[in-house]
Structure 1
Amino acid sequence: MKILLEELARKPFPPKQWIGTESWGTAPEFLKFDFCAGAIGFGIPQSLVPGFREYLLDLSPAKAAASQLLTELWEGAFNCQLERKAGSADSVCDGTEDIQKLKSPYTDTSQLRVTNMVYKAVYSIAHAIHNIVCKKINSTIQCDQFMKIEPLQVLDQLKRVNFSRNGYHVSFNANGDPVAFYELINWQKNENGGLEFVTVGHYDDSLPIGQKFNMIKNISWLDGGGQVPVSVCSDSCPPGTRKVLQKGKPVCCYDCIPCAEGEISNTTDSSDCFPCPNEFWPNEEKNKPDHLQG
């Protein structure tokens, strides 16, 4: 999608209504493509993981130097080197770098989606292990910290996991799937003219049919208005006409041509008109035989 959107940004093209998959519909780096205004798509629910931002901002030069990944992060963020490398023109970090003042995807924990899923997955496994090693004996919980645990035991307990964390419930059905719960995301223009993700609704598969969708805000479509766009470039052809495809355009683009004298069509989007039965003449709308010929 990054390659496609970058190519489309090179020259103007007709406005399109974008429908994003979960994988790119909530990708912050794509908000720079303003022609995607009005895009809609499903997203994994976002959530603030308690203490996570504080944990990230506790990073120091010494902690960063102990990890190759964090070293790359630190040096890229502050454009300096934790230790001088031969042949490099970059300056050495002097210790005045303050990660708490850094504005980057690393420190932005306001749009955590997949991260929150990992968080809940770790808690799920922790609950499963706890249920294996801990037993209630005489009204007290006793845990065997030295018990040898087999993977199949953890899998069996995972099927029974049932807890809530950060406002979200976690459990699994007979197929091992959690209840499907998604946010409906809309790319809307903000006061500064840029794009931002706005949650306009939710989908909760645990609710009864007819109540699974809950819309909480109006959707802003490709033109910034509330009119739902159509997915075809031509309206349906009514009875009494026939469809004629427009040359050089997609199959959803066509003209509606009135039936010729003595012919009718009695279905919507008919590709042909057909003659009236003998001794009959079409009605005024040319959608059924009306009366005998005079």
Structure 2
Amino acid sequence: MNNLLEQLSLHNITGRQFIGVEAWITADSLVTPTSFSVLGGALGFAVPKANISGLEDFVVRDFWETEFHCNETNTESFIKTCKENSDLFQLKSDDDDLEKLRSSTNIYKAIYAVAQSLHNILKCSDSQGCDKALEVKPWEVVEALKHVNFTIKNGERVWFDHTGAAVNRYELVNWQRGSDGSIEFKPVGYYDASLPSDQRFALNTEAIIWPGGGKEVKI
């Protein structure tokens, strides 16, 4: 896609409506000073942004301790106490924006799904614990995955059909120019296979910016 974008920019081919696939529609690597002239107005489905409860606190704490080599609770000699007035401006080049995470939510759900499968195979309970004597085989985990059904902290239900396939959920995003001039992947709709068939796809046409910067499609 980078090679194609380079050639389109070189030949000044603009004003085309691009329909992006998940692999590149939200790829930061495609955001360049000239890419918007080609891809502005592009539409495509993307994995919804992650909303993982507790992740931000964990990452920020780990980031702080790593960058400043300190730990507020650990008093071991090789870890020094955090400075009260550490200079955060020296870290401004670190751009780990948790709000941009997308595939991470699928990783999060996958780990919990496998954990739920193991929990069921090992017959775990709050009072009895787990049967640690059982030898778990890979195929048993795969089979158990077909029967998991749980809800994560953000309220999303996780389950699989009889083939082991997960329910598909996507955001429909649109390449737009933000108020500060930056390129944004703005949600303008969604597809959710867990909903009734007449409610699975929604599109806010008024929120779409088409190639050329207009609100209407140019034919």
The reply on whether 1:39 has 2:42 as its aligned counterpart is yes
Which structure 2 residues correspond to residues 198-213 of structure 1 after superposition, within 5 A? Answer: 198-213=186-201
> Aligned equivalents of 1:21 and 1:9: distance in 2?
20
The reply on whether 1:113 has 2:102 as its aligned counterpart is yes
Equivalent in the alignment of 1:228: 217
Read off the aligned partner of 1:191 and give its amino acid letter.
S
Greater strand fraction, Structure 1 or Structure 2: 1
> Aligned equivalents of 1:172 and 1:99: distance in 2?
46
Greater relative CO (CA pairs within 8 A, separation 6+): 2
Deviations 1:202-261 (A, max 9, x none): 11123333322123462111122222344xxxxxxxxxxxxxxxxxxxxxxxxxxxxxxx
Shift of 1:61: 6.3
Which structure 2 residues correspond to residues 1-294 of structure 1 after superposition, within 5 A? Answer: 1-32=1-32, 33-35=35-37, 36-57=39-60, 58-59=62-63, 60=66, 101-105=91-95, 107-135=96-124, 140-165=127-152, 166-216=154-204, 218-230=207-219
Deviations 1:18-56 (A, max 9, x none): 111010001122232112111100001111323334444
Deviations 1:153-196 (A, max 9, x none): 21121110111213322111112111111110011111122210
- Taking a change above 3 Å as real, the CA distance of residues 99 and 126 of structure 1, as seen in their structure-2 partners, is farther
- Taking a change above 3 Å as real, the CA distance of residues 97 and 118 of structure 1, as seen in their structure-2 partners, is farther
Read off the aligned partner of 2:148 and give its amino acid letter.
V
TM-score, normalising length from structure 1?
0.59
Equivalent in the alignment of 1:233: none
Deviations 1:61-115 (A, max 9, x none): 698xxxxxxxxxxxxxxxxxxxxxxxxxxxxxxxx9969934445x221111112
> Aligned equivalents of 1:52 and 1:98: distance in 2?
20
Greater helix fraction, Structure 1 or Structure 2: 2
> Aligned equivalents of 1:13 and 1:178: distance in 2?
39
Task: Please tell me whether the aligned partners of residues 159 and 166 of structure 2 are also in contact (alpha carbons under 8 angstroms).
Answer: yes
Q: Classify the secondary structure of the residue corresponding to 2:100.
A: coil
Shift of 1:12: 2.0
- Taking a change above 3 Å as real, the CA distance of residues 43 and 229 of structure 1, as seen in their structure-2 partners, is farther
Instruction: Indicate the RMSD between aligned Cα atoms, in angstroms.
Output: 2.7
- Taking a change above 3 Å as real, the CA distance of residues 98 and 206 of structure 1, as seen in their structure-2 partners, is same
The answer to which of 43-52 and 140-149 deviates more is 140-149
> Aligned equivalents of 2:53 and 2:89: distance in 1?
19
Task: Please tell me whether the aligned partners of residues 17 and 229 of structure 1 are also in contact (alpha carbons under 8 angstroms).
Answer: no
Task: Please tell me whether the aligned partners of residues 20 and 43 of structure 2 are also in contact (alpha carbons under 8 angstroms).
Answer: yes
> Aligned equivalents of 1:128 and 1:100: distance in 2?
44
> Aligned equivalents of 1:104 and 1:15: distance in 2?
34
Q: Percent identity?
A: 35
Q: Give ranges in structure 2 of 5+ residues lacking alignment.
A: 70-85
- Taking a change above 3 Å as real, the CA distance of residues 2 and 34 of structure 1, as seen in their structure-2 partners, is same
> Aligned equivalents of 1:186 and 1:164: distance in 2?
29
Task: Please tell me whether the aligned partners of residues 31 and 196 of structure 1 are also in contact (alpha carbons under 8 angstroms).
Answer: no
Shift of 1:4: 1.4
Larger Rg: 1
- Taking a change above 3 Å as real, the CA distance of residues 128 and 3 of structure 1, as seen in their structure-2 partners, is same
